[in-house]
Structure 1
Amino acid sequence: MTLPAPALMAHQAPLVLDGAGTAWILVSTAFVLMMTLPGLALFYGGMVRKKNIIATIASSTAALMVVTVLWFIVGYSLSFGTSGDATNAFIGGLQALFLDGVRIDTAHSLAPGLPEFLWIAYQLTFAIITPALIAGAFAERMKFSASLLFFGLWHLIVYAPICHQVWGGGYLGSWGVLDFAGGAVVHVNAGVAGLVCALVLGPRHGFGRDNMAPANLAYTAIGTGLLFVGWLGFNAGSAWAADGIASVAALNTIIAPAAAALGWMTIEWIDKKRPTLLGLLSGIVGGLVAITPAAGFVDPKGAFLIGLIGGPACYAGAVWLKHALRYDDSLDAFGIHGVGGIVGAILTGVFATATINGVAEGADVIKQVVGLAAVVAWSAVGTFAVLMICKFTTGLRVPKDGEVEGLDYSQHGESIH
């Protein structure tokens, strides 16, 4: 006797396999995973002082480790699951704990052509890189034990609810807020969290006095290249198919960062009297951030303008704003990801066109701004709460002598000779 197949959960649909789309998302999953390790690890690792390179790379590795385990246990269910028979507006449910009920023949209802296991893997890579980005703000001073607790709590309290609200069927996505590949969910979320971390932890010892120049810009350049290539999976993969929208998203992901780097370089050349490699690399990343929410909604002309505006905006956030307010966002997590994400999300409402993607028919700047305000508020309050838990359990900062010695040795017992 053949037993009936288990009933589908509310978020699931029967798999109707899209072979080409599945192949592309398999590749995209690898690309986005590469963005964190080694891409972001090297990008950030090259920008700190030599005594903190290992610790900074360890932060990216720790984010991957902690978030992957939590995503398997509960993060996926909270982000893309349901509560009862209907989708909850603010947070998913607990029906898919430990991926219970996910089978080889199920798909998520948002992507019925992809195996659900692949959907889970692809979305996991976004969940991994988001807290890893935050580490750029507290680099060179947070205890490793605190970072482990922070990554775990932040994933559950901040990332999963925002992911659900925008992408998982929650109220922001249902209301019409457009975020193609993570402008709000990933970059604004991480950037705001980074700013809160920088303010709560306070500046590094010697900030504004000691030389804190990057130790190895070659690492940062290699990391930028890996991020750039990986971002094609990040943005073009978010079409969830191998189609025309994926194609225009890929092209936009190349045009925008080039325009942003040009804009950053121009402003820096005027302001500092010379262009720097760090500026060019930062401009590229700023452009990648800015185009992320718009990649599959705008045409290449819109992508060019978003990049051209986003580059100088990120320069202003990373250089002028930080210096004016005197906060120590070590590696400009807010200046690039927060500012770039905000600019890109707003400009999505300006340049999105239904000739590229029918979903853009409802594009509206006011909706984008209100959606950003909701994400900023949730991220700021949630991040502060997580930091307070860490402060009164593990503690947040390494002792002064350990910070002066360097986190590589004081936290990990290792060093780069």
Structure 2
Amino acid sequence: MAAAVTLAAETPTLSAANTGFMLICSALVMLMTPGLAFFYGGMVRVKSTLNMLMMSFISLGIVTVLWVLYGFSMAFGTDFGGLAGWNSHWVGLGDIGLTELWDGYTIPVFVFLVFQLMFAVLTPALISGALADRVKFTAWALFIALWATVVYFPVAHWVWGAGGWAFELGVIDFAGGTAVHINAGAAALGVILVIGKRVGFKKDPMRPHSLPLVMLGAALLWFGWFGFNAGSWLGNDDGVGALMFVNTQVATAAAVLGWLAYEKFRHGAFTTLGAASGAVSGLVAITPSGGAVSPLGAIAVGAVAGVLCAMAVGLKYRFGYDDSLDVVGVHLVGGIVGSLLVGFLASGKGQSDVRGLFYGGGLDQFWKQCAGVFGVLAYSLVVSAVLAFLLDRTIGMRVSEDEEVAGIDRAEHAETAYDFSGAGGGAARNAAQAPLAPAESKKVDA
């Protein structure tokens, strides 16, 4: 009887508090994709604003449908060889009970899957920032569908799925340093190496058209990231979620200061773009490490990431790859920094008892982190480049040079972000009242 009582006590039961908390976190993560759209949209020139917004928004549509059809099954189903999962009962999500609990937790399967869905939506949207101004929207939509299927869903299984090789190895990735940020950053690098540079790269000015939009986007990302990070513990019964919440704030603040200090030293000014980019670099770096480090460790993670990411964004000019909005410099580098620093700064008092080198744990965890980091990086880089190459050779990835110069918003969406017809005069009024392209004329006639 005592054994039965003990067994009953150990059996998880539905927690209304944790369920409500996770639904709120899921909504916060969903908000990050529109936030990213504003962040990227403000960083491009006026003529590409709508395209940049749409490249993020379309991920909400495509990935959501794929997740229901087979994505959740591939990412979290029964393991096959450490590389992918599958559960035929999850295809279409029709065989999941409304109160069926997720694997040993106190939340329903539906809550877990919608939380993870928002991660799956955000990750390909991150890639879009590297491709600004020059990619056909149809090709981008097809790329998202293919990339989610052959890269994101399997990699999510590697890192978080029971039986995934990185999960079994003991790689620590609390909320997506490898599966989300390194994955997206490596993919961005692979694609831009295939499709090439923008017209006028390193010659024409390509400054952000709206820094207020950039700051708004950064603020929405920072806000949503609390759900992204704290929610990844799937509850807060033991305080680890609260630790992650605190570390998210602390590391982001330190990264802003680190980036701005480097910027002032290197370029002589504190810029709003630097503050926004520094915040994102800190958020990226603390994502894998925040459950394992102390708040002092989070300061170190954020400060190091802020400085190194600020340095890394300039590499595109040295090596000649056109990473339009610094996805490689912020997400790839920030994800690597945060993931590897776990091997040095893990305190043994957070999500597990693993200790890093600075806490007497040696280098064992560091080598595990290296395996996860470079395994994901290599796979995503190569497969993403192959996908981009195949699409480029079949339907074409890039708009024409004339369409790129004139503005991808008009070419791909038959719209412009701003209507100047009622303000200003002279050249501004004439440009706004110029004849519509044929596709636009048809829309007006309709």
Q: Same fold (TM over 0.5)?
A: yes
The match for 1:299 among 288, 294, 297 is: 294
Deviation of the 1:105 alpha carbon: 2.6
Q: How does 1:294-373 map to 2 (within 5 A)?
A: 294-319=289-314, 321-358=315-352, 360=354, 364-373=365-374
2:211 and 2:194 map into 1 onto residues whose CA distance is 28
Larger Rg: 2
Deviation of the 1:214 alpha carbon: 0.2
Retained in 1: the 8 A contact 2:195–2:388?
no
Deviation of the 1:193 alpha carbon: 0.5
Over 3 Å counting, the alpha-carbon distance change for 1:119 and 1:31 in structure 2 is same
- Residue 69 of structure 1 corresponds to 65
**Deviation by residue 1:213-238 (Cα, 9 ceiling, x = unmatched):** 00001001000000000000000001
The match for 1:174 among 150, 158, 168 is: 168
Q: How does 1:218-229 map to 2 (within 5 A)?
A: 218-229=212-223
Letter paired with 1:122: F
3-state SS of 2:101 partner: strand
3-state SS of 1:147 partner: helix
1:17 and 1:88 map into 2 onto residues whose CA distance is 32
1:24 and 1:353 map into 2 onto residues whose CA distance is 26
- Residue 117 of structure 2 corresponds to 124
1:57 and 1:230 map into 2 onto residues whose CA distance is 18
Q: How does 1:3-402 map to 2 (within 5 A)?
A: 16-37=13-34, 39-82=35-78, 88-95=81-88, 96-109=90-103, 111-169=104-162, 170-243=164-237, 244-319=239-314, 321-358=315-352, 360=354, 364-402=365-403
**Deviation by residue 1:279-307 (Cα, 9 ceiling, x = unmatched):** 01100100000000011111101100000
Letter paired with 1:161: P
1:16 and 1:389 map into 2 onto residues whose CA distance is 48
Retained in 2: the 8 A contact 1:15–1:105?
no
2:86 and 2:389 map into 1 onto residues whose CA distance is 26
- Residue 7 of structure 1 corresponds to none
Letter paired with 1:18: S
1:44 and 1:90 map into 2 onto residues whose CA distance is 33
Deviation of the 1:102 alpha carbon: 1.3
Letter paired with 2:148: H
Deviation of the 1:161 alpha carbon: 0.7
3-state SS of 2:313 partner: helix
Deviation of the 1:192 alpha carbon: 0.6
3-state SS of 1:414 partner: coil
Q: When the two structures are superposed, what TM-score results if normalisation uses the length of structure 1?
A: 0.93
3-state SS of 1:397 partner: coil
Retained in 2: the 8 A contact 1:20–1:242?
no
- Residue 9 of structure 1 corresponds to none
3-state SS of 2:205 partner: coil
| Matched-pair identity in % | 42
1:115 and 1:390 map into 2 onto residues whose CA distance is 39
**Deviation by residue 1:27-70 (Cα, 9 ceiling, x = unmatched):** 10000000002x00000000000000000000001111110010
Unaligned residue ranges in structure 2 (runs of 5+)? 1-10, 356-360, 420-446
Deviation of the 1:108 alpha carbon: 2.7
Deviation of the 1:370 alpha carbon: 1.2
**Deviation by residue 1:317-349 (Cα, 9 ceiling, x = unmatched):** 112x22211110000111000000000000012
Q: When the two structures are superposed, what TM-score results if normalisation uses the length of structure 2?
A: 0.87
Retained in 1: the 8 A contact 2:176–2:287?
yes
Deviation of the 1:358 alpha carbon: 2.2
2:399 and 2:94 map into 1 onto residues whose CA distance is 40
Retained in 2: the 8 A contact 1:108–1:119?
yes
Retained in 2: the 8 A contact 1:264–1:312?
yes
Deviation of the 1:359 alpha carbon: 5.2
Letter paired with 1:396: M
3-state SS of 1:69 partner: helix
2:206 and 2:229 map into 1 onto residues whose CA distance is 33
2:203 and 2:110 map into 1 onto residues whose CA distance is 51
1:65 and 1:395 map into 2 onto residues whose CA distance is 22
2:59 and 2:230 map into 1 onto residues whose CA distance is 24
Deviation of the 1:357 alpha carbon: 2.3
2:177 and 2:372 map into 1 onto residues whose CA distance is 11
CA-based RMSD: 1.4
Deviation of the 1:239 alpha carbon: 1.1
Please, which moves more after superposition, 386-395 or 345-354?
386-395
Letter paired with 1:376: L
Letter paired with 2:411: S
Retained in 2: the 8 A contact 1:248–1:295?
yes
Letter paired with 1:318: V
Deviation of the 1:16 alpha carbon: 2.2
1:79 and 1:386 map into 2 onto residues whose CA distance is 20
Letter paired with 1:384: A
2:353 and 2:38 map into 1 onto residues whose CA distance is 36
2:393 and 2:91 map into 1 onto residues whose CA distance is 29
Please, which moves more after superposition, 398-407 or 97-106?
97-106
**Deviation by residue 1:153-178 (Cα, 9 ceiling, x = unmatched):** 00000001110011012011111000
Deviation of the 1:94 alpha carbon: 4.4
